[in-house]
Structure formats: structure tokens, C-alpha cells
Structure 1
């Protein structure tokens, strides 16, 4: 019975790899290319982001002035977010769209373009391929559906491959041939050894990457995380699920405070801040989630009427987890703190869901996690290649060998 199950599982493993292997290989290669995306973008921006503070210790320009400089330098472009860094030698980042923005010297107001246009275009293309096969807006749902199914197939391949690899008897003689890459092998023996050795070392990581990908691809699976931890799933997809913050009705004729006053209050709330980002409506939410709606406290179209809270994302120096940030919502008229949320305030479902989001890219564990995720992604592509070669030998080389043998038998013997 066990042998029958193993045979059935083997053929399911083989067919799943043949059907989804090309897409899985593509997702693995693009995932490896994106492993160090944040560091690559920071490296590309190193010149634009670096500023020289005045030797006299002159005060920084107001954030409102910096935003005005961006609007003047780029007519028709509406800033969607602004990030201020505690490092006095860092420029202020003004977001102008998804993945795009400019740097502004906080002392001179000089507007600088982001660096590495070619690199950014390449990374953007890799992300498009990885998430929805670079399909157009009209077919993006289909592309996302295909990558979601293939990612789920990859998870099955990882789990079933681990089961098929598992030795019937744990002895050094049985484990050694599939534990490490052996030299001097050729043909099927080489492919078999490479496939098993790569799978042994990469599969635990690939299980994490693919399982987290499944959670991100399917809201029902994401909601299950909340349900199993006894928490109500959020209405929107993703780990954030924040409810709107209600702003008290201001007195008649009241006007919103300036951005600088709100930034000053945000700095008071987290004295050891490393960076503070203000979402000005329509900009990207933490972790790539987008938030629609008007800007700077205006009522949202189709949403609740009335003023909207100004929401800051504050990164603290030496904070843990590495991806954690405090979410601060302020009254735009009084700078009163309406809500403050840190990672510790999240319910268990939201904490797990957020961890999975950043484990998928390896960023949850810093550059070391990104390196492991990148190498495992390359191993995933290698597994697809060796899996295809093993299948080719199984289905075609055998036929070729049999035909050659039959042809040799039909030929009359050579008489010398």
C-alpha cells in the first residue's frame, strides 16, 4: 500500500512539474533577481540621497517648502507621500507615484531625480513578471491567477519532493548519494544527484517562500490565518486591515494645520525615530498596499464624508521586527493623536500575516534572509531544469534506446 501511494505521489509530482515548471522557473529567476531590490535601489540613489549639511548648522527648510519646490519643478505632478530621515546627511524623499519619486535637499531645496533609471526599469519588469507575468492591465487578473496556481503547485512539489526524497532506511550509505553534489557523474545519474541534493538543502526555504506566497495570493487562505488565531479577518486583502480613523468635526471655519506641525508632533511621539513617512492619499501603503482617496485631509470620493486623519508610518532605530513601524493617525486640525499602533499592538493573526509577507522576500531577517531567499529561488529554477531533464530521459531517451536496440537486432550479423 505504501509503495502504491509513493508511486501515485511520484506521478503527481512529475506531472505537476511538467505542467507548471516553466512558470515556476520564471518566478524563481525573477524572485532571485528581486532578492536585494531595496539595497539595489538605495545603491542607485546614493548620490541623489546624499546631502552636505551647511557648516554653520543652518536650519532645515520646512517640509511644506520642499513640497512646493517639487510641484514647481514638476508641474502637474501631485506628491503622494513624503519621507523625512533622521540622518542629517539624507535628502527628503517625495513620492510621486508607485515606485517613483524625487529627492529634495532639505537645506537648499534642490530637487534631484532618483538614480539608476535602467536598474529601476529592470527591477520593475522583474516584479511585473513575478507577480502577474507582465500582463496588461486588462489581463492582470488572469496573470495573477496563473502565478498563484503555479506557486501553489510549487508548494506541492516542495512537500511531495521532500517525501519522495526521504530514505526508506536512514543509513550513511543510502543518504550520502542524495545529500551533496557528486562529481564525475553523467546523464541520468548526474541529474538525479543534482535534483536531490539541491532539493534537500533548498526545500525547507522553498516551503516557506511558497506557503507565504499562497497566503498572499488567496484572500481565503489569508483570512484562515486570522480565523485560526481567533481574530476577525480584515475586510481588505493583506495583513493591514486598518479601520478608518474618525476625525472629530472641526469648528466652523477651521483650517487644517500645516504639514510641518504634524511632522513635529509625530517626532515627539517616537523620539528615537529613524524615518517618518506621511501618506498623502493615493500613495503606497506599507508593504506595497495602496490606499485610495483624496489628499491632505480631504473627504474620500465614495467613502465617508468629512475630514480624514493624517497617517504617518514611523520607523524606529533598532526596532524589532526589522520591518516593524509605528502607525500614527493625527487630527489634521489639532495634531491630536487619534490612534497609535505598533507591531506589538497587532492581534496574533495580523502579526503572523505580516511576518509571512516579509518572509516571502527574506526581508524579515535582513540581508541574510534576503540572501537565503535569493539562493533558494535560484535553486528552485535549478530544480525545474533538472526535473525537466529527468523527465526527458524517462519519456524520450528510453524510446530512443529501445528503437536503437531493435534496429540492431534486426540487422544481420557481420561475417568477418
Structure 2
């Protein structure tokens, strides 16, 4: 009786939310490939790095882009172009040795992935509809979590024998039609249930800030604070023992070359440096230092420097955040797998593909069940014989 009730609830929730879950899973697969695909596309813009050549000063690179530059994004790869950003909407790829503009963006590939992001988060709506759309995706994540929790109850065979367990743990190559779909649905579900439960649960915290506010303090106590990189401005010593500038005087003549040199020396293992260009009234420059890939906040820090001398004034990293803030960032990037690097992102994509297959086979089984029900209702009643 209880199993029958759970089955009906499982079927009802799946029928109501299945199409949206399928969309979220499909866009999740696409987004898991974003860094890999754009990385391959970026290779066409690789530049020659002559032996002993040095990059042009940041001011010259910014001027060469022909934009109202707000930030410069450097890669540690000497063959990578520098991205000169104008806000968040536009950028130019600039050869850091010659100042040649290689291309401007965003291009079609980046707009495609941006659209996939928007569909995954809020159905690609805009304006005041975004909040309502995010609430819907949150409900769907809750529904998916319910399906993942009730699914194993229905998949456990009765009675439990070696053969019955093999039917739900292993693929059956010879199965066809509904039996194949049921086998795939059960096998993929059993092996994917725990990772998919994590993905769904972290999606709920992102969709509902009120839920996140209750979860973050608890999760923050178990998230490692990390210890990257070594060195602390608060100790009163900067790069290579140089005294830290504490003069808050306004910057009249920024020296971005000195700022960049200090940032490079601060974290020799850096992968990406994002230099935020100061305004004329700013006395400080902020540089984002990434030692890992995008989505790894535990390997990211922010260095504040004197705009005129390039001396370090302050350093903040993942370890300096509150436990709640660390938990928020951890759950955000655990949802996509990015927290664990490219491998984690690919695994998240693989399990998203598994979710898509589960939804597809589940809906197929539901449609077959509906057709049988309709046929029975339409079948003429059998008349008794004398």
C-alpha cells in the first residue's frame, strides 16, 4: 500500500516537472562543456612570444583596444592575448607584445553559452520576470530532489535476489521497448542518485535565498578555509620584504606597470590576473588573482595596491571570508562541479546527462502507461454469454 502511494506521487511529480527537469539537465550538459569548448576556440588567437620579449605596459594595452577600458585580464600563458574589458558587455583581445587588436567580443559562441546560462537559471526571461522564473526553477529542483529520494524505494526489487538486483544495477543489452526504458531508468538512477541529489540540493539553495541563509552557517563550519597564497599584508611586510605603503593619498599618476609587477610577484603560481583600472580620483587599484580555474574561489584572492607606487596594501582571500560566505561560494560552484576544477565540471555534466536520460525514459514509461489506460477506457465492455 505504501509503495503504491509513493509510486503515484513519484509518477505525478515526474509528469508535472519532467519537461523542465529535462531542460535543466540538457542545459547543464551544455554548460559543463563551456570552458573546454571556448578554450579550444581561443587557440586561434594565440600570439607569438619572441624570446626575451616583455608585455607592453597596461596603459598602452588599454589604449590600443579602442575601448573605454575598465579592466585588463591577463593569462600566465605568454602566448595568450590580453582581454581589455569595457564593463561586462564588451571586450577586445589584444596582442600584449604589439598592441594589435585580434578580435572583439562577445562572439557567437559566447552568446550561445550566455543564452544557455539564462535558460538554465531563469528560462531566458528578463526584467521583473527573472525572480519568478528563479522561483520556478527552485520548485523544480525540489521536485527533482523528491524524485531522487523516492526513486530508490521503488527500484529496490521484491524479493531481493541476485538476479533481481542485477536487473536494477546492470544494463540488459537484449531488452527492448518499455523493458529497456525501465532498465535504463533504474540503472542510471541507482548509480547517479547521490551526485544528482547534491546537484539538486545546491540548486535549491541558489534559487531560494531564505533557504540558503539557513544552510550556509551550517555548511560553512565544514568547508575548508584553504591557505592560498602564503603571505599576509597584515604582518606589515609586502613582496620580498618591502614595507607596505599605508599612505592613503589620492593617486595623481597611477603606475599600472608597478601594480602589475607587484601582483605577479605576490602569487608566482597565478593563472589569471584581472587588473581593475582606477579612476582619476582613486588612490588604490584592486587586482583579482586566480591560481585555479573559474569557479574555484578557494584559489582566488584580491590584492589592493597603491596606485602610484604599486605597493601592496591589503590581501583578502577565501580564508578571510566568513564561514557563511565560504559556504555560499562552495555550494554555488559545487552545483556546477567547478569547485573541483575541470574534472569536477565534466563529472557534473556527465551526471546531468544521466538526469536527462532518466527523465526521458521516465516520461516514455509514463506515456506508455497513459496510452494503456486510455485504451482500456475506450475498449467496449464485454457482454456475457448465455
User: Shorter-normalised TM-score: what interval?
Assistant: 0.7 to 0.9
- TM-score, normalised by the number of residues in structure 1: 0.77
Q: Aligned residue for 2:49?
A: 53
| CA-based RMSD | 3.2
Give the distance between the partners of 2:218 and 2:301, measured in 1 at CA: 25
Q: How far 1:249 sits from its partner (Å)?
A: 7.9
Q: Which of 246, 258, 261 is residue 258 of structure 2 equivalent to?
A: 261
8 Å CA contact 1:297, 1:332 repeated in 2: no
Flag the 1:198–1:319 CA change in 2: closer, same or farther, 3 A.
Answer: closer
Give the distance between the partners of 1:173 and 1:254, measured in 2 at CA: 76
Q: Aligned residue for 1:374?
A: 349
8 Å CA contact 1:279, 1:312 repeated in 2: yes
Q: How far 1:192 sits from its partner (Å)?
A: 1.9
Task: Find out whether 1:23 has 2:20 as its counterpart.
Answer: yes
Q: Helix, strand or coil for the counterpart of 1:45?
A: helix
Give the distance between the partners of 1:148 and 1:317, measured in 2 at CA: 29
User: How is 1:1-400 mapped onto 2 (pairs within 5 angstroms)?
Assistant: 3-4=1-2, 6-48=3-45, 50-55=46-51, 57-71=52-66, 77-98=67-88, 100-113=90-103, 117-167=107-157, 170-228=160-218, 250-251=248-249, 255=252, 257-280=254-277, 296-297=278-279, 307=282, 309-316=284-291, 324-400=299-375
Post-superposition Cα deviations, 1:167-195, rounded to whole Å, max 9, x if no partner, equal 46643233111112223334433322221
Q: How far 1:109 sits from its partner (Å)?
A: 0.3
Flag the 1:320–1:370 CA change in 2: closer, same or farther, 3 A.
Answer: closer
Which structure 1 residue ranges, 5 or more long, are not aligned?
A: 72-76, 232-246, 281-295, 300-306
Give the distance between the partners of 1:318 and 1:41, measured in 2 at CA: 13
8 Å CA contact 2:178, 2:365 repeated in 1: yes
Post-superposition Cα deviations, 1:380-413, rounded to whole Å, max 9, x if no partner, equal 1222222222222333313304644x46x35999
How many residues are treated as equivalent by the alignment? 363
Q: Aligned residue for 1:287?
A: none
8 Å CA contact 2:338, 2:344 repeated in 1: yes
Give the distance between the partners of 2:370 and 2:186, measured in 1 at CA: 20
Flag the 1:41–1:265 CA change in 2: closer, same or farther, 3 A.
Answer: same
Give the distance between the partners of 1:229 and 1:136, measured in 2 at CA: 32
8 Å CA contact 2:64, 2:99 repeated in 1: yes
Q: Aligned residue for 1:302?
A: none
Which structure 2 residue ranges, 5 or more long, are not aligned?
A: 222-244
Q: How far 1:230 sits from its partner (Å)?
A: 7.2
Post-superposition Cα deviations, 1:126-163, rounded to whole Å, max 9, x if no partner, equal 11211111113342222222222212221222222233
